[in-house]
């Protein structure tokens, strides 16, 4: 027989933990189901040099600020993992892992969450699985012909594996710029983007972005974070600019056996292509509820699904709330989500 509770949270990364914090305060019966074997969410899998854009005090989950990391202004991914592990313990959040979700489907007045460790009946489900498990690579001609190495951001670890090689880095966001900056110190690099790169001013880091996102979340006037640009000029990226590395080329039209081919017909040889081309929301478990959900964003009002009102989505990007895929943004959207669920459950038998 399935277990039952008021709310099942699918995913135990930063968004799932933020939801757990507020659920704990309401007194609702809840469980957080996490596919990972250890705490930390996607931060456990970042490349070796990955860091936050902001100091620790600008990257809190609700209730407890992130402690500063000794000797580091911008915390490492490992420090974030330690913080998330300690956060779970501090608030005694009800996390079960590793539990992999098979699907979520309707079961009368409840939603049935089926997993490899049994099933749960829930009155509401919060999906907080993030995007890390769904890397996106554009379907360009010649990908199967290329004899070199192709890898996505999720598989990148350090520049040493490319030392002395010719590497094409594809993508116009922060991951691409940071990976390009360090790989260019070990290899001959070419940077390729689909549109001109948009750099933020040098004095903009996570502290400024925190303020912009806060004003936007509060309904303030003015643009959002994306209006400032796409790439934060962290020290490694500024250094790459000073070395002349940030000279981008327009997107190539196909891969060949030995490299890439540009629109004018010229070819450039390379040994590896690093696809820093982003992610899609990890939503396959919701297919029984929302057919076609894996093709793009889900229609929501706030974080609540339009097509299944017992389902909420947290932390997938701006379509689930301003800066919701960040630590501080996850807390804001989780607070509103749990408050809405609690108000709907209030007075129900």
Kindly report, residue by residue over 268-280, the tens digit of the pLDDT: 999 999 999 999 9
Token pair of 251 as six digits: 């997107």
Q: What fold is seen in the domain 149-275?
A: FAD/NAD(P)-binding domain (3.50.50)
Q: Coil, strand or helix: which one is 295?
A: helix
Instruction: Using pLDDT thresholds of 50, 70 and 90, give the confidence band for residue 335.
Output: very high
pLDDT above 80: residue 113: yes
Q: 5-41, pLDDT tens digit by residue?
A: 999 999 999 999 999 999 999 999 999 999 999 999 9
Neighbours of 264 (CB within 10 A): 6
- Domain ranges (residues) in the chain: 3-133+279-345, 149-275
Instruction: Using pLDDT thresholds of 50, 70 and 90, give the confidence band for residue 58.
Output: confident
Residue 10 CB contacts under 8 Å (≥ 6 apart), including other chains = 16, 33, 101, 104, 113, 125, 126, 127, 128, 129, 285
Instruction: Using pLDDT thresholds of 50, 70 and 90, give the confidence band for residue 2.
Output: low
Helix (H) / strand (E) containing 269? strand 267-269
Instruction: Using pLDDT thresholds of 50, 70 and 90, give the confidence band for residue 62.
Output: very high
- Per-residue confidence (pLDDT) for residue 218, from 0 to 100: 59
- Per-residue confidence (pLDDT) for residue 193, from 0 to 100: 96
Q: Coil, strand or helix: which one is 305?
A: strand
> In this structure, are residues 62 and 335 in contact, taking their beta carbons and an 8 Å threshold?
yes
**Looking at residues 155-165, what average pLDDT do you find?**
96
Phi (first) and psi of residue 105, to 5 degrees: -140, 165
Token pair of 228 as six digits: 């400032």
Q: 66-92, pLDDT tens digit by residue?
A: 999 999 888 999 999 999 999 999 999
Q: 192-224, pLDDT tens digit by residue?
A: 999 999 898 887 766 666 666 666 665 655 555
> In this structure, are residues 177 and 231 in contact, taking their beta carbons and an 8 Å threshold?
yes
- Per-residue confidence (pLDDT) for residue 347, from 0 to 100: 66
Q: 227-284, pLDDT tens digit by residue?
A: 666 888 888 999 999 999 999 999 999 999 999 999 999 999 999 999 999 999 999 9
- Per-residue confidence (pLDDT) for residue 202, from 0 to 100: 82
What is the pTM (predicted TM-score) of this model?
0.90
Distance CA 225, CA 228 (A): 6
Q: Give the mean pLDDT of the chain.
A: 91
Q: Give me Rg for the CA atoms of the chain.
A: 21
Instruction: Quote the percentage of the chain above a pLDDT of 90.
Output: 75
Tell me which of 109-118, 251-260, 313-322 is least confident. 313-322
Instruction: Using pLDDT thresholds of 50, 70 and 90, give the confidence band for residue 1.
Output: low
Distance CA 190, CA 261 (A): 13
pLDDT above 60: residue 309: yes
149-275 matches 3-133+279-345 in CATH topology: yes
Q: Which residue has the higher pLDDT, 202 or 134?
A: 134
- Per-residue confidence (pLDDT) for residue 200, from 0 to 100: 85
- 3-133+279-345: in CATH 3.40.50.740: no
**Looking at residues 149-175, what average pLDDT do you find?**
96
> In this structure, are residues 35 and 101 in contact, taking their beta carbons and an 8 Å threshold?
yes
């Amino acid at each position: 027989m399935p277990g039952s509770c008021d709310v099942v949270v699918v995913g135990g990364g930063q968004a799932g933990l933020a939801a757990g914090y507020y659920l704990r305060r309401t007194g609702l019966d809840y469980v957080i189901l996490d596919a990972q074997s250890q705490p930390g969410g996607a931060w456990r899998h970042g490349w070796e040099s990955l860091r936050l854009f902001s100091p620790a005090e600008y990257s809190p989950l609700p209730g407890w600020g992130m402690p500063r990391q000794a000797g580091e202004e911008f915390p490492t991914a490992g420090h974030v993992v330690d913080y998330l592990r300690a956060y779970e313990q501090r608030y005694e959040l009800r996390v079960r892992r590793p539990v992999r979700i098979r699907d979520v489907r309707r079961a009368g007045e409840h939603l049935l969450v089926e997993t490899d460790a049994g099933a749960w009946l829930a009155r509401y489900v919060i999906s907080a699985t993030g995007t890390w498990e769904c890397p996106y690579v554009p379907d360009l001609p010649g990908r199967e012909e290329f004899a070199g190495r192709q890898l996505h951001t999720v598989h990148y670890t350090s520049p040493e594996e490319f030392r002395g090689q010719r590497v094409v880095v594809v993508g116009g966001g922060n991951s691409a710029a940071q990976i390009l900056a360090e790989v260019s110190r070990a290899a001959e690099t070419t940077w390729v983007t689909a549109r001109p790169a948009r750099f933020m001013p040098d004095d903009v880091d996570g502290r400024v972005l925190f303020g912009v996102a806060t004003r936007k979340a509060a309904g303030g006037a003015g643009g959002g974070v994306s209006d400032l640009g796409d790439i934060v000029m962290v020290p490694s990226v500024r250094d790459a600019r000073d070395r002349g590395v940030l000279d981008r080329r327009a997107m190539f039209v196909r891969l060949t056996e030995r490299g890439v081919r540009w629109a004018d017909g010229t070819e450039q040889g390379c040994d590896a292509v690093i696809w820093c081309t982003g992610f899609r929301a990890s939503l396959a478990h919701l297919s029984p509820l929302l057919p076609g959900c894996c093709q793009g964003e889900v229609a929501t009002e706030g974080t609540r699904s339009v097509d299944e009102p017992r389902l909420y989505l947290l932390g997938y990007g701006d379509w689930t709330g301003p800066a919701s895929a960040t630590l501080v943004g996850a807390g804001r959207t989780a607070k509103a989500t749990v408050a809405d669920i609690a108000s709907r459950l209030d007075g129900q038998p």
